[in-house]
């Protein structure tokens, strides 16, 4: 959360600095310095501000990968997705706090192997939270050579959005721009969509039968836009 976002959120609630400071447990002068960018908004305070100001999960602070081991644990990912409202894990009851969708998506992309519901959740995250910090996501994906995985996921989401909303919606435009940025750094080497344990028979079958998007992004995966059950 940046200083301008904090100020805009406060004004959207119709609160004065004094009113917001009381709710945040701060002094008015300190809040004023935060809004001017003269003081750093700590992760703890950012979380409290997001809760008090009723901001979306995309306003939550982002961690710097590599993530701690618990954040790449399958159960952690499932519960984090459930906390964000992912229908595939709607049966889970979790007390886990909300995570920034961009952080969760990058964490999933780094996995060697994901179970199908978690893999299917990646396009859902992109569709559900198009306002996530795409610059952070893009730069961190490039640092880890994950741009093909991310490009495929975003392209899937774009295809679904075009089908549901038409080619000129704001969501489609946002996704199209991200795909375009990822195209410039698309890797030639073959990869999987977090299915590194595939045996050679499975890999050979996918090379011959994968969809056009998977082929374009050099991924061995059977996922297509038509196969996604959860999109919004």
Please work out, in degrees rounded to the nearest 5, the angle formed at the alpha carbon of residue 212 by the alpha carbons of 152 and 157. Answer: 35
Domain CATH number, residue 17 = 1.10.260.40
Q: Are residues 85 and 196 in the same domain?
A: yes
Q: Are residues 126 and 177 in the same domain?
A: yes
Q: With respect to residue 16, please indicate whether it lies within any of the assigned structural domains.
A: yes
pLDDT value, residue 54? 87
User: Over 90: is that where the pLDDT of 81 sits?
Assistant: yes
| pTM (two decimals) | 0.86
Q: How confident is the model at residue 70 (pLDDT cuts 50, 70, 90)?
A: low
Q: With respect to residue 60, please indicate whether it lies within any of the assigned structural domains.
A: no
Nearest to 220 by CA among 201, 199, 206: 206
- The residues near 152 (Cβ < 8 Å, ≥ 6 apart) are 193, 213, 214, 217, 219, 221, 223
pLDDT value, residue 137? 92
Q: With respect to residue 139, please indicate whether it lies within any of the assigned structural domains.
A: yes
Q: Are residues 75 and 19 in the same domain?
A: no
pLDDT value, residue 105? 94
What six digits make up the tokens of 153?
Answer: 């996921």
pLDDT value, residue 43? 81
pLDDT value, residue 67? 73
**Can you tell me whether residue 36 is helix, strand or coil?**
coil
Q: With respect to residue 28, please indicate whether it lies within any of the assigned structural domains.
A: yes
- Whole-angstrom Cα distance, residue 7 to residue 16? 10
CB 212 within 8 A of CB 156: no
Q: Are residues 21 and 84 in the same domain?
A: no
Q: Are residues 223 and 196 in the same domain?
A: yes
- pLDDT (mean) for 146-170: 95
- Whole-angstrom Cα distance, residue 22 to residue 10? 12
State residue 113 phi and psi, 5-degree precision: -140, 130
- Whole-angstrom Cα distance, residue 188 to residue 186? 7
Q: With respect to residue 232, please indicate whether it lies within any of the assigned structural domains.
A: no
Range(s) of the domain holding residue 155: 69-227
- pLDDT (mean) for 97-120: 92
CB 60 within 8 A of CB 47: yes
Higher pLDDT: 1 or 209? It is 209
User: Over 80: is that where the pLDDT of 3 sits?
Assistant: no
Q: Are residues 90 and 140 in the same domain?
A: yes
Q: Are residues 49 and 84 in the same domain?
A: no
Q: Are residues 129 and 198 in the same domain?
A: yes
pLDDT value, residue 188? 95
Q: How confident is the model at residue 4 (pLDDT cuts 50, 70, 90)?
A: confident
Q: How confident is the model at residue 164 (pLDDT cuts 50, 70, 90)?
A: very high
Q: Are residues 188 and 128 in the same domain?
A: yes
Q: Are residues 103 and 51 in the same domain?
A: no
User: Over 90: is that where the pLDDT of 94 sits?
Assistant: no
State residue 111 phi and psi, 5-degree precision: -70, 145
Q: Are residues 21 and 110 in the same domain?
A: no
CB 147 within 8 A of CB 217: no
CB 137 within 8 A of CB 164: no
Q: With respect to residue 63, please indicate whether it lies within any of the assigned structural domains.
A: no
**32, 55, 78 - which closes a domain:** 55
Per residue in 29-69, pLDDT (tens digit) is 999 999 998 988 888 888 888 889 888 899 888 877 777 66
- pLDDT (mean) for 106-123: 93
In the chain, alpha helices (H): 3-12, 17-24, 28-35, 43-52, 74-83, 101-109, 116-128, 134-143, 147-165, 170-183, 200-209, 212-216
- pLDDT (mean) for 127-143: 90
Q: Are residues 178 and 140 in the same domain?
A: yes
CB 91 within 8 A of CB 53: no
Q: Total domain count for the chain? A: 2
Q: With respect to residue 15, please indicate whether it lies within any of the assigned structural domains.
A: yes
Q: With respect to residue 61, please indicate whether it lies within any of the assigned structural domains.
A: no
% of the chain at pLDDT higher than 90: 70
């Amino acid at each position: 959360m940046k200083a301008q976002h904090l100020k805009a959120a406060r004004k959207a609630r119709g609160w004065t600095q004094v009113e917001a400071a009381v709710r945040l447990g701060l002094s008015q002068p300190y809040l004023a310095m935060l809004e001017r960018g003269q003081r750093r908004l700590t992760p703890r305070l950012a979380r409290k501000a997001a809760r008090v100001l009723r901001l979306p999960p995309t306003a939550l602070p982002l961690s710097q990968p590599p993530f701690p081991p618990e954040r790449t644990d399958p159960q952690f990912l499932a519960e984090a997705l459930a906390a964000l409202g992912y229908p595939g894990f709607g049966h889970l009851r979790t007390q886990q706090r909300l995570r920034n969708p961009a952080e969760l998506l990058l964490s999933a992309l780094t996995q060697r192997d994901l179970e199908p519901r978690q893999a299917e959740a990646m396009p859902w995250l992109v569709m559900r939270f198009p306002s996530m910090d795409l610059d952070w996501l893009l730069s961190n994906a490039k640092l880890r050579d994950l741009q093909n995985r991310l490009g495929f996921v975003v392209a899937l989401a774009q295809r679904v959005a075009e089908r549901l909303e038409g080619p000129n919606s704001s969501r489609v435009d946002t996704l199209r721009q991200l795909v375009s940025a990822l195209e410039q750094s698309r890797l030639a080497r073959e990869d999987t969509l977090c299915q590194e344990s595939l045996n050679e028979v499975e890999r050979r079958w996918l090379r011959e039968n994968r969809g056009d998007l998977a082929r374009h992004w050099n991924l061995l995966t059977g996922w297509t836009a038509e196969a996604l059950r959860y999109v919004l």
